Structure 1
């Protein structure tokens, strides 16, 4: 059938480059922006992923575009019948373990939100790679798509807790550590805003200029939006291989190459940051071991230091070989949520942060990505991301850091401000 002038067939449902032999240069200004607005006017669901040419272990997100109208039920999500794209919300944890999420929510969000794309394109800076010949009608539609003039990306934004409340909660968590109830807890705070007009598409494009990340993504699910500049992978499956890449350890980029080099050495030498990273790396090793062949879980890289636009991050890579016939549902139940966003041990720590945090995380600190028909997938961690509801006219974003027994509450608060910097610049129009 023809959708928007494009032939739909099963060959679209493949991320391998060999399946995209037809290249269409987009030789007109703002073609990517026009493609997004074109999709917004025709589809209930669409997504754009961008790796921004980062040199990232096991590679960043492919740069792809997806669009469709069919939402998946939870039961269909776990089947291999179709390619799917979407979100695992953090509060899906309550369906995995005996946990609760009772903090106030900014607006209602589904725990699981996936769609089946009717269109999938590989994209680059020059144009579109397609699996079939595209019609002149489609190319004309994109070229003539009007970009709305009301593309506001700013709104009034407010922190949900005071600095004093944050410091008190950190002390409470450190008391829990002293009592042996947790070793490390990822404590998060939120910023929220309301708007009359706010453009998720314009916001994504601007955020991707301010902070080009390896797991950048824009996701529309009816009236819910995700505008993401994530630096972190949750989990990737390729054949029988599983890859988890927890981030723990952050330091500001230097203003000069020399300062950058010094900050890199300082981060790598920090006993505190290494301890935080090692605890979560061990947690991910344990998570992967639950669904992997005995003896195959390995740390491919420990304490790797990688540069991003505003920060240097410490990333470890954990790999394993899956047990035969392990299902997608079994993999997710064994590993979700990402340990870097909970702490260790996982279950008791999630109970502690639920008590200390002031908001329901919703999609924040969950995962976004795609799953192909064979069961391979790639998911980012939803951090450095704005979550919005175009009907409620509200948005929020979360930011957090790891609290350990020797953490300085004031320094952790400053780290949160550093992580929030790009989004605050976007929303405040700085």
Structure 2
């Protein structure tokens, strides 16, 4: 891994937003990631900025000998290339299943400083500083839920019938909201969402006219040397209005047999997935049912780690583990078929994964949830939200959980 050679103080509070707007003018692709200083098990995203103009071919993405960074998205519907599955539901946007670029410009941030492998010129500093931030940004968009509450409740009952019949044990059923606009500011939307909901895997990603604005709390998969780490989230409860209520809610989640059962099923699924590419006997649950605080919710997170087989590569790891079990259910393949039958939309980038692959093959990928996906050319956006449906799930409570997860995004899109 290259060591950074140049360090500069961050000029002001708004400089990073100016940097993103500068990059939007000069690059077809860029990404900004921010871990928001979360004390997350195995660490959160580093606070970094990447920009470039060259989209990678699939051959370059899967190559283990590229020797350069790769930044981008694996869409949920890439599943169809890994298994005999299909995605026939209507798509809100035509999104590439694989969308990666290689950055020619990378910056690394700590609390006060910018680190760069190249010397930043006076022209660069002036161009960024001269960017004028809009006094009033347009983040409002009229959106509509794609299914009614009544249909949602009926669908949950249908999934529970599948569970009784033994077709699935747990299904992550998702609904979507969509809208269109004449003008919409994805950069402003990102910074607003991050202020409302600062998450450990916060991401702003541009791919030409298409954007991801993500406040994800969840890691899909991380590689550090020969070590693999998966961290499925299953189990959610709102934060309390005061310290006493907060403590009660945390304990309620921690002791919930229902939430533990959901989490355990996906933890077992991820253990099985990791075992396909890991040394025999190396897959271990490092933490089961950990409770972690976020701005609006507590989440139950389990951490599974393993030792990668010698010569194990990125392509084999994705083949074994994608999509992540937390967004499908168990058993994975049959449950994905049920999801396809019952959901009303093609997921696209939603519930796929965003990440960065380093030159040495290490990588870190998030789960694309709590995220807005937009296309400025066709002037449309959407987001999805879901929860795990089990036999003892209460349909009305599951609907309320979806509304809780959607709240921050709805506040951004309300434009208030």
TM-score by length of 2: 0.98
Matching of residue 395 in structure 1 with residue 395 in structure 2: no
Matching of residue 76 in structure 1 with residue 60 in structure 2: yes
Matched residue SS, 1:41: helix
**Equivalent in the alignment of 2:304:** 318
Instruction: Give the superposition deviation at 1:132.
Output: 2.5
| Distance in 2 (alpha carbons) for counterparts of 1:411 and 1:187 | 14
1:222 to 208, 220, 228: 208
Instruction: Give the superposition deviation at 1:147.
Output: 2.4
| Distance in 2 (alpha carbons) for counterparts of 1:73 and 1:175 | 43
| Distance in 2 (alpha carbons) for counterparts of 1:424 and 1:146 | 27
Matching of residue 52 in structure 1 with residue 36 in structure 2: yes
**Equivalent in the alignment of 2:106:** 120
Matched residue SS, 2:381: strand
> Structure 1, residues 299-336: CA drift from partner, whole Å, max 9, x if none?
00000000000000000000000000011100001000
| Distance in 2 (alpha carbons) for counterparts of 1:29 and 1:369 | 26
Matching of residue 383 in structure 1 with residue 385 in structure 2: no
Instruction: Give the superposition deviation at 1:149.
Output: 4.8
Matching of residue 206 in structure 1 with residue 192 in structure 2: yes
| Distance in 2 (alpha carbons) for counterparts of 1:51 and 1:30 | 18
Instruction: Give the superposition deviation at 1:146.
Output: 2.4
Given that residues 83 and 370 in structure 1 are in contact (C-alpha distance below 8 angstroms), is that contact kept between their aligned partners in structure 2?
Answer: yes
| Distance in 1 (alpha carbons) for counterparts of 2:7 and 2:37 | 19
Matching of residue 252 in structure 1 with residue 232 in structure 2: no
1:185 to 163, 168, 171: 171
The 1:28–1:261 alpha-carbon spacing in structure 2 relative to 1, beyond 3 Å, is: closer
Matching of residue 88 in structure 1 with residue 90 in structure 2: no
Instruction: Give the superposition deviation at 1:148.
Output: 3.9
The 1:125–1:154 alpha-carbon spacing in structure 2 relative to 1, beyond 3 Å, is: farther
Given that residues 383 and 399 in structure 1 are in contact (C-alpha distance below 8 angstroms), is that contact kept between their aligned partners in structure 2?
Answer: yes
TM-score by length of 1: 0.95
| Distance in 2 (alpha carbons) for counterparts of 1:302 and 1:26 | 39
Matched residue SS, 1:334: helix
Counterparts of 1:332-343 in structure 2, within 5 Å, are 332-343=318-329
Most deviating of 240-249 and 120-129: 120-129
Matching of residue 42 in structure 1 with residue 23 in structure 2: no
Instruction: Give the superposition deviation at 1:125.
Output: 4.2
Matched residue SS, 1:347: helix
Given that residues 138 and 415 in structure 2 are in contact (C-alpha distance below 8 angstroms), is that contact kept between their aligned partners in structure 1?
Answer: no
Given that residues 370 and 378 in structure 1 are in contact (C-alpha distance below 8 angstroms), is that contact kept between their aligned partners in structure 2?
Answer: yes
Q: Which runs of 5+ in 1 are unaligned?
A: 1-13
Matched residue SS, 1:402: strand
The aligned length equals: 414
1:170 to 132, 136, 156: 156
Given that residues 89 and 364 in structure 1 are in contact (C-alpha distance below 8 angstroms), is that contact kept between their aligned partners in structure 2?
Answer: yes
| Distance in 2 (alpha carbons) for counterparts of 1:349 and 1:376 | 30
Matched residue SS, 1:218: strand
**How well do the aligned residues superpose, as a CA RMSD in angstroms?**
1.0
Matched residue SS, 2:26: coil
Matched residue SS, 1:365: coil
> Structure 1, residues 269-291: CA drift from partner, whole Å, max 9, x if none?
11000000000000000000000
**Equivalent in the alignment of 2:314:** 328
| Distance in 2 (alpha carbons) for counterparts of 1:360 and 1:29 | 38
| Distance in 2 (alpha carbons) for counterparts of 1:315 and 1:92 | 25
| Distance in 1 (alpha carbons) for counterparts of 2:188 and 2:109 | 19
**Equivalent in the alignment of 2:332:** 346
Instruction: Give the superposition deviation at 1:20.
Output: 1.9
Matched residue SS, 1:250: strand
| Distance in 2 (alpha carbons) for counterparts of 1:415 and 1:27 | 40
Matching of residue 232 in structure 1 with residue 218 in structure 2: yes
**Equivalent in the alignment of 1:101:** 87
Given that residues 291 and 326 in structure 1 are in contact (C-alpha distance below 8 angstroms), is that contact kept between their aligned partners in structure 2?
Answer: yes
Matched residue SS, 1:225: strand
Matching of residue 373 in structure 1 with residue 382 in structure 2: no
Instruction: Give the superposition deviation at 1:21.
Output: 3.6
